[in-house]
Amino acid sequence: MPLIFLVRHAENDYTRKNRLAGRLPAVHLNQRGREQAHLLAKYLEKAPLKAIYSSPLERAVETAEPLAQIHQLEVKLHSGLIELDYGDWQGESLKGLHRLRLWRTVQNTPSLMRFPQGETILEAQFRITQTIHEIASQFGENDWVVCVSHADPIKLAMAHFLGMPLDMYQRLNVSLASMSVLHLTQQSVRVLAVNFLPNLFEGLAKK
């Protein structure tokens, strides 16, 4: 089973304005996001990639495309990599959501959280981890595979593979256009990187 690169999509106007895009359609990368996607592609230019998968949302696909072009690979859409279903919270500002009582549940006991008219965080963790195992099962131990997704699904996956309780997953940080890397074998999972940025210091300076 392969080396899996979990890549968070690059910047868009929702992340820039601290709004929760969720599964809204037509959320595209902005100029800085396109620059981040090209930087990521350049960093992985010589990586021996076998496949590139992406959430079907536009901001994820647009992050994957420069890398796919360099490697002459198609971007394979996978619904299991999609953003959480935030239900009624979708499109709202984070500042406004911070005032809600349910926000404390998301931060402190996310294992108990169901987003209004959306999915539970536990359901989302099961979905993303099953998706990673499904994709990984199609490749050999020395293959490299990129999966472009979103912050919460990646955080939930990394918490699972690190053996962290679900209620601690918010301690992890997954920056825009960052990579978190797993090596899966039939016997074990090794976490090789969490929230690695191709240009680390620039990324931290602009958070």
Q: Domain containing 7: what range?
A: 3-205
- Tally of CB atoms within 10 A around 81: 26
Query: Mean pLDDT over all residues of the chain?
Result: 94
CA distance 121 to 159: 12
Q: Please enumerate in sequence order all residues whose Cβ is within 8 A of that of 50, keeping only pairs 6 or more positions apart, or say none.
A: 2, 139, 143, 144, 145
Is the pLDDT assigned to residue 127 strictly greater than 70?
yes
- In the structure encoding, which two tokens stand for residue 92, read together? 């709202």
Average pLDDT over residues 26-36: 97
pLDDT tops 60 at residue 41: yes
pLDDT in tens, 88-98: 999 999 999 99
Cα-Cα end-to-end distance for the chain: 34
Distinct helix (H) and strand (E) counts, the chain? 8, 6
The predicted-structure confidence for 45-85, as pLDDT tens digits, reads as follows 999 999 999 999 999 999 999 999 999 999 999 999 999 99
Adjacent-strand bridge partners of 191: 182
**What was the pLDDT predicted at 200?**
55
pLDDT of residue 188: 86
pLDDT band at 104 (very low <50, low <70, confident <90, very high): very high
Entry pTM: 0.94
Q: Say yes or no to pLDDT of 26 above 70.
A: yes
Write down how long the chain is. 207
Percent of the chain with pLDDT over 90: 91
Counted domains in the chain: 1
**69 φ, ψ (degrees, to nearest 5):** -65, -45
Identify the DSSP state of 1: -
Contact assessment for residue 41 and residue 70, using Cβ atoms and an 8 Å cutoff: yes
pLDDT of residue 205: 42
- Which two structure tokens, joined as six digits, stand for 101? 């009582």
Q: What is the CATH number of the domain that holds 47?
A: 3.40.50.1240
